[in-house]
Structure 1
């Protein structure tokens, strides 16, 4: 017999032996898996105690009050159930929240004298169990006490204020305050919050390169424990094109004794500012008032007398004037 044939016979014998061994291992593993499945199914028929978490929603809170403390959003339930039911709970989607109706436990929550309420969760065990899947029995509930703290609701009307960042196209500016519709809201909340509330602000928002009046719906900032009539308002941002205007305005001396006359050099100042094109023709020098106060002379030794712009039209922006101070002489009246 040739060496080649002997080699082939040895290879064949090895393959047969390994095949039989692999087959035995495979059959063994199959029986192990089947046994494990039957063992697991048998265990699922047993009853177990475990802790599960369930979301909770609180209903029928007193209408004339507001909740001022935070309540747990989930309850920990110590339950007893068969393995099948627990497995089903674990693989199911997020469960519907348990609904806890406060009126079921205290009918006097509307009373103005009631500011807090404690609920021992063991008294809610039956109501909670009825909302769980069948065959799940609640043994205990954590936390063992739910504390509700209330404050009486009061109303107040407050203005709406802008929290906006604006930038403008060249030669354009905001031409007046932002106009809201409505311009104020009736809000309800606890006394501690309402007493210090001065305004409702819009949510931060930015607008850039504005070149004409803009109208937008803008959402309001939400304040915890505060109820408002609306969540958003209409805002109008007036925009106009501006140009520079200049006016020569006479200086008016004030607080001068009757026996003296205060004469300034020069007798007027040059006022410059930005004016909208629509207002350019209606603004006059008489709309400004510039003063030099005689009382400031007491502190001056060889210095010029400062002047002040006391009155300027609201529709003139970035007001500047020159000179900021003037020379002067005092003369006795004849």
Structure 2
């Protein structure tokens, strides 16, 4: 291939030509973007003033096409910025109709928007809704919790959720299937003290449903745990003999308990039993000891002995 050799003057002329061409293109782009254009973007529908006596379900997508007018710069940035594109639709007419005409609400919609984001038209212009019987129900809150504790620390009491029940309302066919309502996920690592927070409930995905309230107060009591030993008497079950002796009459319990409850936890908080029917019906020569009452959040380490001897005198 032949190589074209340019003189110094020709190279300067070519450089000037390319520079002028680039400047002309940039100037044309700036002029074009400065002119007004009509353009279409998608916006998410947000319903407000929902009817209180009727449950509804939208028969369309949750987005609509919005026609706007603005400079080329606004059009360009609108294509790039996909956040906070929401159009508020008033549903008060659903008390008597099963559709909403958006063009009749344009003035109201635009009054909530700044001058640079005025809407000229929407598509579809009419939104249709399906109606069913509305149902109101109270369901318990389900705490979505993942937690780990520092060594020697643990949950010291029941977790408090206020309110523990929330109210949901919507189509009866949907509400009937809901037995509980979850919170947002809460993840805690290596905690060593009480934890209190305000936690949002999981938002509804169906615009025909309403959840109240939107958040709950969560309190997680945490304390340091230590080991304690107590002797607890063994209670004999199912005996019809006046003279039954058990050996030993008490068992030694080793368990962990929170420091706050260490002093107040005693043998009256536990119940240890042995069932004589195991000898009568199954021929046991020793009776296993079982704990039928243990304080909440105490964890057993050992029972000594685990089996007791007995003598039956007829």
* TM-score computed with the length of structure 1 as normaliser: 0.61
Distance 1:76 1:186 in 2: 37
Distance 1:288 1:96 in 2: 61
Distance 1:245 1:102 in 2: 63
Residue 197 (structure 2) aligns with: 217
By how many angstroms is 1:167 displaced? 0.4
Mean CA deviation greater in 185-194 or 269-278: 185-194
By how many angstroms is 1:287 displaced? 3.2
Matched, 1:71 2:52: no
By how many angstroms is 1:202 displaced? 5.5
| Aligned-pair Cα RMSD in Å | 4.7
Distance 2:56 2:309 in 1: 68
Distance 2:72 2:256 in 1: 75
By how many angstroms is 1:163 displaced? 1.8
By how many angstroms is 1:266 displaced? 2.9
Max Rg structure: 1
Distance 1:287 1:100 in 2: 60
The verdict on how the C-alpha distance between 1:126 and 1:287 changes in structure 2, with shifts beyond 3 A counting, is: closer
Residue 110 (structure 1) aligns with: 95
Residue 247 (structure 1) aligns with: 230
Matched, 1:168 2:153: no
The verdict on how the C-alpha distance between 1:278 and 1:61 changes in structure 2, with shifts beyond 3 A counting, is: closer
* TM-score computed with the length of structure 2 as normaliser: 0.65
Aligned partner of 1:269 among 251, 269, 294? 251
Residue 189 (structure 1) aligns with: 169
The verdict on how the C-alpha distance between 1:162 and 1:322 changes in structure 2, with shifts beyond 3 A counting, is: farther
The number of residues matched between the two structures is: 281
The verdict on how the C-alpha distance between 1:125 and 1:252 changes in structure 2, with shifts beyond 3 A counting, is: closer
> Unmatched 5+ residue regions in structure 2?
1-5
